Amino acid sequence: MRARVADRPRRPPTRAWLYILLLIMALFYLLPMYIMLVTGFKSFDEVSLKTMWNLPSGLAFDNFVAAYEQLAPHLWNSLRLVIPTAAISAMLGSINGFVLTRWRFPGADIVFPLLLFGMFIPYQSILIPLVQFMRTTGLYGSIPGLALTHIIYGIPITTLTFRSYYITVPKEMVEAARIDGAGLLETYYHIFLPVSAPAFVVVLIWQFTAAWNDFLFAVVLTNPENWPITVALNNLAGSQIIAWNVQMAASLVAAIPTLIIYIFLGRYFLRGLMSGALKG
């Protein structure tokens, strides 16, 4: 890793500018999070537009404790939902992307745009047939039903992502493998899967986040005992007076698992680099 950095010819002043640029960007991304964090520690009467930049008067964790108590029962629901969703979506996307890129079959040219077009369907307008479908299949109200929904509506995006990575894999490698007598699965396993890590990361991030933060499907398709964390988070707010300090604290609490996943998955960007180097 470090070796590669050293390889490159660098002009020091440029690098300083790069850091400054990076810090400015970091500021842009951090400002709203600063507000969230600061507000999360404030008491209700300290929260107001005028004083939004001010630090809280004390470091009270009451809001976080209150938030956690409300959210905790739904944490397990969310995990049961999100982990299988992300994993199955990634597998499906990888296989679809592979088949549609490099193992063509009659009509494949039509199938892919048709899959993609499905992405643009506005979810709000298909809630009713969706609920009816889930009820007839007996999946209504349950976590598997919700997971299935996320997986299916994730097919276009995951297929697309994998396809745009696999298209960069040189054709010659596939041909070479074929000449060696490798079948479909062998080609996938030995040539495509090893270079897939960055694509898996991108797709897992997407599906994990989408399923974790989804509110619309969750609130419509699950019953109260299976509500994932977003519904509980949303329910912290009443219809009239909203305690923003608890809300901010709660959304930070709810975001922690996603953050952990990002940090954990980030390592695979590096692995992707290694395999890319290997390939070259």
Partner 1 sequence: MKKTHYLPVVLLIVLGLFLAACGGGTAQEVSEQPAATTAPETAVEQPADTEAPAADSGSQVEVFSWWTGGGEAAGLEAMIKVFAEKYPDIEFINAAVAGGAGTNARAVLATRLQAGDAPDSWQGHAGQELIGTYVAAGQLEPLNFLYEQNGWLDVMPETLIPLISQDGNIYSVPVNIHRANVLWANPNILSENGLEMPASLDEWFAAMDTLQANGMDAPLAMGEQWTAMHLFETIMLASLGPDAYNALWDGTGDWSSPEVAQALANYEKALSYTNSDASALSWQDAGQLVIDGDAAFNVMGDWQEGFYRELGKTPNVDYVWAPVPGTDGNFQFLSDSFVLPVGAPHRDAAIAWLTVAGSKEGQDAFNPVKGSIPARSDGDRALYGEYLQSAMDDWASNNVVGSLTHGVVANDSWKSEIDTALGLYLAGGDLDSLQSALVAAAGASDQQALDSAPAEETMADVSGPVEVFSWWTGGGEAAGLEAMIKVFAEKYPNVEFQNAAVAGGAGTNARAVLATRLQAGDAPDSWQGHAGQELIGTYVAAGQLEPLNFLYEENGWLDVMPETLIPLISQDGNIYSVPVNIHRANVLWANPTVLADNGIEMPTSLDEWFAAMDTLQANGMDAPLAMGEQWTAMHLFETILLASLGPDAYNALWDGTGDWGSAEVTQALDNYAKALTYTNSDASALSWQDAGQIVLDGDAAFNVMGDWQEGFYRELGSVPQEGYTWAPVPGTAGNFQFLSDSFVLPVGAPHRDAAIAWLTVAGSKEGQDAFNPVKGSIPARSDGDRALYGEYLQSAMDDWASNNVVGSLTHGVVANDSWKSEIDTALGLFLGTSDVAGFQTALVDACASSGPCQ
Partner 2 sequence: MARKKLDKDTILAIILVAPSILAVLIFVYGFIAWSMRVSFSNWVGLLPNYEFIGLRNYIELLQDPRFHIDIRNTVVFTVLFVGGCLFLGVGLAILLDQGLRGESFFRSLFLFPMAISFIVTGVVWRWLMNPAMGSRMSGLNLLFDSVGLDFLVNKWHTTPQWGIAAIAIPAIWQMSGYTMALYLGGLRAIPESLREAARVDGASEVQVYRRIILPLLWPVTLSAMIILGHISLKVFDLIVAVAGKQVSLDVPAVYMWTTTFDGQFYGRGASIGILLLLSVAVLVIPYLYQSLREESTS
Residues 34-73 that bind partner 2 (CB under 8 A): 35-36, 39, 49-50, 52-53
List beta partners, residue 258: none
Task: Report in angstroms how near the CB of residue 251 gets to partner 1 at its nearest.
Answer: 14
Sequence letter at residue 224: P
Which pair of structure tokens corresponds to residue 164? 């745009």
| The CA-based dihedral angle spanning residues 109, 111, 116, 117, taken in that order and rounded to the nearest 10 degrees | 110
Q: Does 95 bind partner 2 (CB under 8 A)?
A: yes
Sequence letter at residue 109: D
9 binds, among partner 2, partner 1, none (CB under 5 to 8 A by kind): partner 2
Nearest CA-CA partner of 275 in 152, 203, 208, 191: 191
Q: Does 194 bind partner 2 (CB under 8 A)?
A: no
Segment 251 to 270, residues that bind partner 2, using CB under 8 A: 251-252, 254-255, 258-259, 262-263, 266-267, 269
Q: Does 160 bind partner 2 (CB under 8 A)?
A: yes
- Distance between CA 163 and CA 90 in Å, rounded? 12
Q: If binding means CB under 8 A, how many residues of this protein chain bind partner 2?
A: 109
Task: Report in angstroms how near the CB of residue 63 gets to partner 2 at its nearest.
Answer: 13
- Using a 10 angstrom Cβ sphere, with 0-12 exposed, 13-18 middle and 19 or more buried, the burial of residue 82 is buried
State the residues that interact with partner 1 by CB under 8 A.
44-45, 48-50, 69, 73, 76, 80, 83-84, 87-88, 90-91, 127-128, 131-132, 135, 140, 142-144, 147, 190, 193-194, 196-197, 200, 215, 219-220, 223-226, 231, 234-243, 271, 275
Identify which of residues 60 and 169 has a Cβ nearer to partner 2 in the complex.
Answer: 169
In the chain, where does DSSP find H-type helix? 2-7, 12-40, 62-102, 108-117, 127-137, 143-166, 171-179, 184-187, 197-213, 216-221, 229-235, 244-279
- Could you tell me which stretch among 55-63, 76-84, 139-147, 192-200 binds partner 2 (CB under 8 A)? 192-200
Instruction: Say how many C-beta atoms besides its own lie within 10 A of residue 227's C-beta.
Output: 21
Task: Report in angstroms how near the CB of residue 262 gets to partner 1 at its nearest.
Answer: 17
Which pair of structure tokens corresponds to residue 142? 């349950």
Q: Does 24 bind partner 2 (CB under 8 A)?
A: no
15 binds, among partner 1, partner 2, none (CB under 5 to 8 A by kind): partner 2
Identify which of residues 258 and 275 has a Cβ nearer to partner 1 in the complex.
Answer: 275
Instruction: Say how many C-beta atoms besides its own lie within 10 A of residue 163's C-beta.
Output: 22
58 binds, among partner 2, partner 1, none (CB under 5 to 8 A by kind): none
